[in-house]
Each structure stands twice: as structure tokens, then as C-alpha cells.
Copies of this chain bind each other. A is one copy, B any other.
Amino acid sequence: MCFKEIEESFKDHCGIFGIYRTDKKQDSAKITYFGLYALQHRGQESSGIAVNDSGNIIYHKDNGLVNEVFNEVVLNHLKGHSAIGHVRYSTTGKSDRENAQPLVVKYRKGHMALAHNGNLVNAHIIREKLEQEGVIFQTTIDSEVIANLISRNRINSENIEEAILKTMDEIKGAYSLLILTPNKLIAVRDPYGLRPLVMGKINNNICFASETCALDTVGAEYIRDVEPGEIVSVTKDGIKSIKYRQSFKHLCVFEFIYFARADSYLDGISVYEIRKKLGKQLCKESYVECDIVIGVPDSGTTAAIGFAEEAKIPFSEGFIKNRYIGRTFIKPEQSQREIAVRLKLNPLKSNVTGKRVVLIDDSIVRGTTSRKIIKMLRDAGAREVHLRISSPPVLFPCYYGIDTPDRNELIAANYTPQEIAKILGADSLEYLSLEGLNSVFDNKLQNFCTACFSGKYVTELPENFNKYIFEEGV
């Protein structure tokens, strides 16, 4: 079943993978399938793969996890020497099949497939302008805007790379892009490097992925990160790198705090190490006497291990997580409301009863889950529950591709930590300081986007974005 309401909602978080094969092997779709599998944590809503061959591009995409959308028969049909793939995270429940990526289009120079991770902040302005000129849109994804611009810029360009450069002058925001044409695989990263994108090599074939964990999985060797503002164009004649006229290092810091998989390296930095250090730093800043340190599974576990190590208190498990919860399950009735939480997490009574617990999580957004978790700990007999957050308070929404609610729903934007502690039922609550975060990154935090903590957006925001923020009273 597929319902689509074409609305102006552009927010996605996604994972992308691509491979360019120069040898005769026809297994690019299969390698991409495994690459996407390793990136599934970046998006569980839809999956898609496009392959090129003989001047044509064929594809398959649908709503669902990688292993739901693809099977042996489908993959065997996707024959081609190169491939790109995409997994998508749906935001506000609009699971529109049409919005699945890669987007495949026919334009004046033939076919082109695009897979996009990130969020443009001026997509709606460009759409409106294009619509005024008569352009029609069939999806609500930024990729359609980008494809239109590339197609139009191609008219007076020598080649597609030049058209992409011109397009980069027009689009603002976060984008890591993979573009597949019948004979090229092109990787593009926005001038701020907001979303990650790495390059690897498998048997002399170049591949790209949102994170190194996908390279590990497919057995590829890590070469380097695609640089901010870089266009890497791979053809049978080799790799060509083109740099946009300006660039900055502003990788999203939240990739380290929460979003990326712990075994990935972004810009050469181990996500796991950062998370553990965040826990240690958090302990230095906000140690509290207690009996056990536990993490909210699974996002708080690594920081909790770091905190426990620093605190010299044993790390422990506080909950058992049900590993079999599917994407959808039947809702308990009103009278069974508590089942919904316990279905996913059950506290380890024997471990927490009578204990003073330090509970570590990576962040608080609305606070609803935290409240339930703290209540479960108390019901299980915890004597004290001290909540420690391994990142600063999230005060501002993200416009670069992480789905965050409006400011009025961000609990930290509306209450003091003491008030939040009370709301959540915690005995105390401490966040990591921005300085602490900075120290964890060897005092180079200025090289990362921290807009959600600081409100310092690395790009200009279109007028209505600013207005929006003002209206919220910041």
C-alpha cells in the first residue's frame, strides 16, 4: 500500500553507498546491497539500488528494510557494472513510496540516478522558482530539485561535473550525493562537509559510503573521506577530483554523539573512542556517588562504559532490550499502555533494586522516553536515579538532515536542567558542557557543526527559517 501526499516536507536522514566496477563482474548491486545493510541504522523506511549498463539505468526501490525490499531474484536482475544505493529514514510518518531513492531521471544527456543524504535549506525556494518557470515535481525529496538544476545547468556546461559545480552555487545546506550516469559514478559533498562520505577500494574498484562500517562490511579498504566541497568523478579512465571554490570543515557533531555506527571512523576519528571519551568527560564534570552505572540501550551504552571507567564504578546492564521488535507491531490497547514500553525494554530488577543508579544517555529530545525509562527503574526498586547526558542540551532544531522537532518541543529549549530532572523524575540531571565536548574533540570543535547546541548554523538560513526561529522566541 502506498499513499502519497505531495507536501513541502524535506527532512530526511539517509545512508548512501556506491561502487564503480572496471572489471567485468556484474555484482555491483549485490555489493551495494551489503553496503546498505551496514548503513541500515541511518534509515529504515525505504531502500533502493540503481545500476547502470549499456547506456541505461535500471533500478528497484520500495518502502522497507534492505532485506525486505530485495531478494535474490531482484538482485539478479539488477545487472550492471556500477551501482548506487540508498536507505531512507522517514520523518513525520509519510512513508511515501515515491520518495524512495535513488531518483532515476531521463534528461537531455541520457539517464541519471541520484542518492542524497542531507537536507537543503533552500530547496523550497528553488522549487518555487522552478515551478514559476513551469517545472513539475513528482516527489518531495531534495534529489528532484538537484536533478532539475543539474539538468538545466548541463545546457551550457562542458560536462556533468561543471553542471554540478554550478548547481552547488545554487543549493545551500547539507548534501552528500552519489550520482550515477551510464558511464560515471560521481560523489559530491557539500562545501561544509556537513554529512559524512568516505571513499574506499575493493579489488581496485572505487566505492563510496556514508560510513566506514559499510566499507568494512563489504571488505573494502578505506582510502580517505571525500572532502568538503569536493566532487570525485570516477570513470573507466580513473578518478578525477574537483574542488568547489570554497570549503569548510563542519561535519555534524551529532554523527559522533549518536547517529553513526560506533565502529565507523569519520574524518579519521573513531566514533567509538569519541563516545567513550564523552562518557569519561561527563563523569569528570558531573560525578555523583552511586552503586552502578548503566546506559540506555543501545545509544547510551558506550558513554556509560566510559563514565563507569572514569568513575571507577562497575558498568552494569540496567535493561534487557527485546531484539525482535519489527518495524511495525500491533499497538496495545489503552488499558495495556505500559506494555508498549516493556515490550522493548525490561529492567533488570536484580541489578537495580536498592541501588543508586547513574543512567547515561546520549541526548534528550522531548524527554518522553527518558521519563518512562526512569519510571521503570524506580518501579524496579532503584533508590536513586541520576541522569547524565553525554552531550550538551539540544536547544536548536537541525536543518541539515537530522529530524528534530520544533523548538517548542525540545525540552532543553524550554526548561532548566533542574526543571527537566523534575519532569523526568530523576534525582539529578547533568549535561556535558560545550567546553567538555570541545575537549573531547581535542579543542577543535570549531571544525564541526554544533548548531543544535549553539544555534550557530554554518550556512545562511533562508529568511523564513530565521523567522521561524524568531517566532519561537529565541
Contacts and interface: CB of A to CB of B under 8 A. Distances in A.
Interface of A: 1-7, 27, 30-31, 33-34, 37-38, 40-41, 44, 56-62, 65-68, 70-75, 77-78, 103-108, 111, 131-138, 147-148, 151-155, 213, 216-219, 261-263, 265, 270, 272-273, 298, 301-302, 305, 308-309, 314-317, 319-320, 322-326, 328-330, 332-333, 336, 338-339, 342-343, 346-351
A37 B151 contact: no
Nearest to A44: B324
Copy number of this protein in the oligomer?
Answer: 4
B320 A314 contact: no
Given A57-B6, A316-B305, A37 B343 contact: yes
Given A31-B336, A152-B134, A37 B4 contact: no
Contacts of A59: 3-4
Nearest to A76: B330
Nearest to A342: B217
A163 to B, nearest CB: 10
B323 A272 contact: no
Nearest to A315: B315
A272 B350 contact: yes
Contacts of A316: 305
Contact of A317 (B132, B262, B319): B262
10 contacts: A1-B77, A3-B58, A6-B57, A40-B322, A67-B329, A75-B330, A106-B136, A217-B342, A262-B320, A273-B351
Given A75-B330, A105-B137, A60 B1 contact: yes
Contact of A320 (B218, B263, B315): B263
A105 B262 CA distance: 41
A158 to B, nearest CB: 16
Contacts of A147: 136
Contact of A5 (B40, B56, B61): B56
B108 A6 contact: no
Given A217-B342, A336-B34, A350-B273, A7 B56 contact: yes
A261 B56 contact: no
